[in-house]
Structure 1
Amino acid sequence: MSTPSTLSIDRLRSDLTGDVIAPDDPGYDAARTLFYGGFDNRPAVIVRPCNAAEVAAIVTLARDTGFELSVRSGGHSTAGHSVSDGGIMLDLSRLRAIEIDVDERTAWAQTGLTAGDVTTALAEHGLAVGFGDTGTVGIGGITTGGGVGYLSRKYGLTIDDVLAAEVVTADGQVLVVDADNHPELFWAIRGGGGNFGVVTRFRYRVHELPGVVGGMLLLPATADVVHGVLTEAAAAPDELSIILNVMPAPPMPFVPPEVHGTLVTMVLLCYAGPAEDGEKVLAPIRALATPIADLVRPIAYPEMYPQEDGGDAEEYHPTAVARTFFADQLDRAMVEQILERLATAPAPMRVAQIRPLGGAIARVPDDATAYAHRQRAFMVIVASFLDTPETRAEREAWVAEVAGLIQNGGPGAYVNFLGDDGPQRVREAYPGVTWDRLTEVKRRYDPGNLFRLNVNVEPAQG
């Protein structure tokens, strides 16, 4: 690759109405900081454009000068892809427009918005679209990667509600893509990540959702409880989506002090249906054991996202090693082994997270989008948090051993949970014909691999 040309900060400031932040400017360090810790990347410049035309100008500048380009939507990249080290950081946070058509049940939302922003705006009209489980995640990253969250079994992945998108491609064009216009690019950005351009806004199908029964249920960490929750959740109506975490109990105000630091089963539940029906569906899960804490109740859907902005949240930048994969069976014997490994783990903070899938996710054909794992039963993450950088090797070995114990039914990975895990894991995220098709789309729309700070798909050769 050629040596990058010199950037003129003054020229950028005169050409753009958005923010241009140089390394010596106040706010530079805050602007380059990610949600996850362990990264100290220093971009040559941080640019926050105000519209798609300015995004296109920055993309063209990066292509013409040879500067590495990173794209930041919410800054939650576990691999640090949101912030270039020495290149141009394209921060979308000023793209915050949302247009809601209540009658048509659709919404155009720009990708500087977070999942919490869009969820709150839609809830004012009794509407919702499913994102993930964290309100501060940018909608650009979570949507292009797939989107697994609290409404997935009811309405599918986030990408299953994408009707159209505005995309800035590597040649500086601003395209509106959908099933009829640039259909291969439209297919690729639904699950293929940020490989094919900068999505500046999405058009979503939205759903009527006046409220949910949801919240956190904290139960003892026994094999009967964990296996019971997974069994009940998998058999429940599509309206119920859960995220199960087996982990040391955090020192939250509602957790008894004597439980702090001991293994618990933290179940995040969301029943997207009438409250009376939800209480009936959740009754068998509640009956598995006397809850340590039960915060599940009828709520407005935005309350599924806890408040994370301000205060200590801005200073919380966790560093961990993790592995994401799928499992098709998690029987009681397997659960016992998971609990044993968690009980004897070297890290004070560690977690096995299990998400029962199925429902609406599985009713979409594997080749309809670039997310190709529609029939998998469980998505799993095993993570171990670092005390110091010196503990990394020990924690990586533990994560690899536990993941190898649990994974079954064949390889696979969810791209939004991948870190810097190497090319083999990228192929597991995009198996078989999905990979071949993505490389062809890449060759057409980004033959020079300008968009490479991501879970990268290189363009097909020839």
Structure 2
Amino acid sequence: MTTLDVSAVRTRFTGQVVAPGDDGYDGARALFYGGHDPRPAVVIRPADPAEVASVVRLAQETGLELSVRCGGHSPVGHSVVDGGIVLDLAHLRAIAVDVEERTVWAQAGLTAGDVTKALAEHGLAVGFGDTGTVGIGGITTGGGVGFLSRKYGMTIDNVLAAEVVTADGEILQVDDTHHPDLFWAIRGGGGNFGVVTRFKYQLHEVPGVVGGMILLPATPEVIHGFLREAAAAPEELSVIVNVMPAPPMPFIPAEHHGSMVVMGLVCYAGPAEEGEKVLAPIRALAEPIADFVRPITYAEMFMEEGDDEYHPTATARTMYADELDLGRVTQIVEQLRTAPAPIRVAQFRPLGGAVDRVAADATAYAHRGRAFMVNIASFLDGPDTRAEREQWVLDTSAVAENGVPGAYVNFLTEDGATRAREAYPGATWDRLTRVKQQYDPGNLFRRNVNIPPAG
């Protein structure tokens, strides 16, 4: 390892270089989630893919640890490295829509909201997740489960090609016929194999959806009914079911603040009249506390950006469940009701549909046949509450999880290092390690849920 000469680095790049003492340094090292205070030696925002390659070579030359930042939403702070080099893609924001071909080339400095808004002008969409501020690089390489998953598949199922800067500083154009193993690996294998500087996505006509938030009382019967109806609905319907205490938001009646509610985010990607019929059984489960589900543009599914000063700190666990019967749901509700944390949540995402129609070995995402993705989280009030909150998360997860153990890499937190094999089981892991050995034998790209090189 060598000491970094920041003055020399500044002469090497036309893009922005931010170092300790510079204006904007604290903003450049800030992350979405709290609990992290990294102080990188330098943050470099390259002007183009060639400069991305130059940053990679700089990391190789100096021996300093490298992190790659898109949106800064890594739950465990992988996006920024203490004492090392942060390669921030924020200035790579070019987007080129081909309306006739229904494709888009989008650079990895864009967020999910940026791309969604640009495509909405043409009545087109590609499914990302459920948060507009997430960078497309992180969510795409990890998989991408969101509001269009059951209809049009995961984000990776809509990637046609990509541009990747590898550990040796080469810029590769990859697709099914060019570097096919690398193309396979970046669709679900995370940031282990290089820096993806742009993606080519297949687009879909989504002129409008029936979507928004519906708030229902969180009885076991309502939750179970919501999940049952959503799982059996036409694949045009994708939902995210959050069971949590009602926050003190102005649109929620004061008498419900703090009580357990179902905060359902629903998106029906089809004709409005059909959507209303499909959603009727869910609305009939109980008198809604609030109902904002209506015909909207798909871009409106992504809520406006929140407070930049809000940096939540939580402990969480991601898993899958093959079934969520009434008895199991009842136990989860009891866990939530008696939890030690003021803010806690159990989140359920019915899968199936287009997610399940892709072969399990077609991409590096290996959990195609699972019925539900489940995430359990508990927010911290300070470092001294971590132990009890972690234990509650583990206890609640033990109730929710069933079927073969599994994990979704984009939602792994502190347990990522120990659960990587659950994210990438069996033959998927073996193939990923071989691709890693070919494209990053020195494990330069290790600030992630790491996949070591074979051997």
Q: TM-score, normalised by structure 2?
A: 0.99
Residue of structure 1 in register with 2:333 after alignment: 339
User: Given residue 320 of structure 1, which amino acid in structure 2 is its aligned partner?
Assistant: A
- Once the 2 structures are TM-superposed, how far is the Cα of residue 101 of structure 1 from its aligned partner? 0.2
Distance 1:381 1:317 in 2: 19
- Once the 2 structures are TM-superposed, how far is the Cα of residue 195 of structure 1 from its aligned partner? 0.1
Deviations along 1:111-165, one digit per CA (max 9) or x if unpaired, are: 0000000000000000000000000000000000000000000000000000000
Residue of structure 1 in register with 2:135 after alignment: 138
Deviations along 1:68-89, one digit per CA (max 9) or x if unpaired, are: 0000000000010000010000
User: Given residue 61 of structure 1, which amino acid in structure 2 is its aligned partner?
Assistant: L
Distance 2:417 2:88 in 1: 26
- Whether 2:87 is the aligned partner of 1:93: answer no
Distance 2:262 2:447 in 1: 36
Residue of structure 1 in register with 2:405 after alignment: 411
Aligned to 1:363, the other structure's residue is in SS state: coil
Residue of structure 2 in register with 1:241 after alignment: 238
Distance 1:26 1:65 in 2: 25
Aligned to 2:172, the other structure's residue is in SS state: strand
Aligned to 2:454, the other structure's residue is in SS state: coil
Residue of structure 1 in register with 2:186 after alignment: 189
User: Given residue 17 of structure 1, which amino acid in structure 2 is its aligned partner?
Assistant: T
Distance 2:338 2:112 in 1: 36
User: Given residue 199 of structure 1, which amino acid in structure 2 is its aligned partner?
Assistant: V
Deviations along 1:399-431, one digit per CA (max 9) or x if unpaired, are: 000101111011000000001215330000000
Q: 1:354 aligns with which of 330, 340, 348?
A: 348
Q: 1:397 aligns with which of 391, 410, 421?
A: 391
User: Given residue 414 of structure 1, which amino acid in structure 2 is its aligned partner?
Assistant: Y
- Once the 2 structures are TM-superposed, how far is the Cα of residue 5 of structure 1 from its aligned partner? 1.2
Aligned to 2:40, the other structure's residue is in SS state: coil
* Residues 60-71 of structure 1 mapped to structure 2, 5 A cutoff: 60-71=57-68
Residue of structure 2 in register with 1:270 after alignment: 267
Q: 1:329 aligns with which of 320, 323, 345?
A: 323
Gap change, CA 1:126 and 1:42, over 3 Å in 2: same
Residue of structure 2 in register with 1:420 after alignment: 414
- Whether 2:432 is the aligned partner of 1:438: answer yes
- Once the 2 structures are TM-superposed, how far is the Cα of residue 364 of structure 1 from its aligned partner? 0.2
Distance 1:273 1:8 in 2: 56
- Once the 2 structures are TM-superposed, how far is the Cα of residue 44 of structure 1 from its aligned partner? 0.2
User: Given residue 108 of structure 2, which amino acid in structure 1 is its aligned partner?
Assistant: T
Count matched residues: 455
User: Given residue 29 of structure 2, which amino acid in structure 1 is its aligned partner?
Assistant: R
Residue of structure 1 in register with 2:162 after alignment: 165
* Residues 43-54 of structure 1 mapped to structure 2, 5 A cutoff: 43-54=40-51
Distance 2:201 2:362 in 1: 16
Q: TM-score, normalised by structure 1?
A: 0.98
Distance 2:421 2:414 in 1: 13
- Once the 2 structures are TM-superposed, how far is the Cα of residue 6 of structure 1 from its aligned partner? 2.0
Q: Which moved more, 1:12-21 or 1:126-135?
A: 12-21
- Whether 2:371 is the aligned partner of 1:371: answer no
User: Given residue 361 of structure 1, which amino acid in structure 2 is its aligned partner?
Assistant: V
Aligned to 2:356, the other structure's residue is in SS state: helix
Distance 1:82 1:254 in 2: 34
Aligned to 1:439, the other structure's residue is in SS state: helix
Aligned to 1:17, the other structure's residue is in SS state: coil
Aligned to 1:314, the other structure's residue is in SS state: coil
Residue of structure 2 in register with 1:14 after alignment: 11
Residue of structure 1 in register with 2:453 after alignment: 459
Distance 2:385 2:319 in 1: 23
Q: 1:72 aligns with which of 64, 69, 72?
A: 69
Distance 1:230 1:366 in 2: 24
Aligned residues with identical type, % of pairs: 72
Distance 1:34 1:142 in 2: 16
Residue of structure 2 in register with 1:113 after alignment: 110
4+ residue runs over 2 A deviation: none
Gap change, CA 1:422 and 1:127, over 3 Å in 2: closer
Distance 1:364 1:347 in 2: 39
Distance 1:170 1:355 in 2: 35
- Once the 2 structures are TM-superposed, how far is the Cα of residue 269 of structure 1 from its aligned partner? 0.1
List alignment gaps of at least 5 residues for structure 1: none
Aligned to 1:308, the other structure's residue is in SS state: coil
List alignment gaps of at least 5 residues for structure 2: none
Q: 2:227 aligns with which of 230, 233, 239?
A: 230
Distance 2:275 2:69 in 1: 37
Residue of structure 1 in register with 2:30 after alignment: 33
User: Given residue 399 of structure 1, which amino acid in structure 2 is its aligned partner?
Assistant: V
Distance 1:218 1:423 in 2: 36
Residue of structure 2 in register with 1:290 after alignment: 287
User: Given residue 215 of structure 1, which amino acid in structure 2 is its aligned partner?
Assistant: G
Residue of structure 2 in register with 1:199 after alignment: 196
User: Given residue 250 of structure 1, which amino acid in structure 2 is its aligned partner?
Assistant: P
- Report the aligned-residue RMSD: 0.6
